[in-house]
Amino acid sequence: MNTQRKYKCKNEELVVICDYVQSSFTRDLAEFTAFAPKFNQQYLTDFKNKNEAMNQVIFPQEKTKELKLLTARLYANMDKLLAPLDHLEGYVKLAASESLKPIPQGDDDDDDEEIEEKDLQTLPLTPADFGITTLRQKLRRKDAEGVLKGLQLINSNIEKNSELLIKQGLSTTIINQFKAAFPEIDTDNQKQYEIVSKRRLLTDENIKLLNALYDQMMEICQIGKVLYKSTQKVKLPDYTFSYLIKKVRIS
């Protein structure tokens, strides 16, 4: 049977709140000890150890560093597509203008019909229909899933209209940039998702430890309110869970 969480916040929010409470409790330890002997240095050490252990579970340094590197590379690969996308837009517009030129008429009606059918098959789309506008938006928003979908459409349309686009000057270098971008972004996006997902999947034992950390943190907050409600109201927010959760979510 899964252990139920006692706290109504995200796991990562809880450990950050405990960081704040630990800092305040360390500052006010002498006043807590004077109020009740159980709030001594050993009590503080126990709270610190619990909090540090949960920080390592929620924010493991190795995975955090890997996630930062993955995110930086993912964003860099997106940014480097913006210039080629601008060039592609120019070539699409040139190809569209080229396609508006009259088709030479021959003597044979069947040949004319054949040429017109071929022309319709290779007629380039507008930049918006080509997928350029949407892909640019997704790149700027750093929306990896949206970028991947956009790249599929772009690569498909480049392939369909390659003859006309290359005729206007589209290089194989730019074509290959778009082709290579998909597996690069897809791989890093998958790795990023796996790291974030593993952080969310805590074991039953870890939930029990987080509950214990929460209980101790709330006990400290309860006594903090007793100590400072009438004497030092400026310290009350430091021991008020509702205030601390808002502080975490704003930062």
Average pLDDT, the chain: 87
Determine the Cα–Cα distance for residues 143 and 147; give it in Å rounded to an integer: 6
- Please tell me the predicted confidence (pLDDT) of residue 216: 98
Please write the tens of the pLDDT for every residue from 127-173: 899 999 999 999 999 999 999 999 999 999 999 999 999 999 999 99
Q: What is the mean pLDDT of residues 3-23?
A: 92
Record the tokens describing residue 233, joined without a space. Answer: 């109201």
Q: Which of 130, 133, 182 is nearest to 161 (CA)?
A: 130
Against a cut of 0.75, is the pTM above it? no
Determine the Cα–Cα distance for residues 167 and 163; give it in Å rounded to an integer: 6
Q: Is the pLDDT of residue 112 over 50?
A: no
Q: Is the pLDDT of residue 117 over 50?
A: no
Helix (H, G, I), strand (E, B) or coil at 36: coil
Q: What is the DSSP letter of 124?
A: P
Q: What is the mean pLDDT of residues 91-104?
A: 73
- Please tell me the predicted confidence (pLDDT) of residue 201: 60
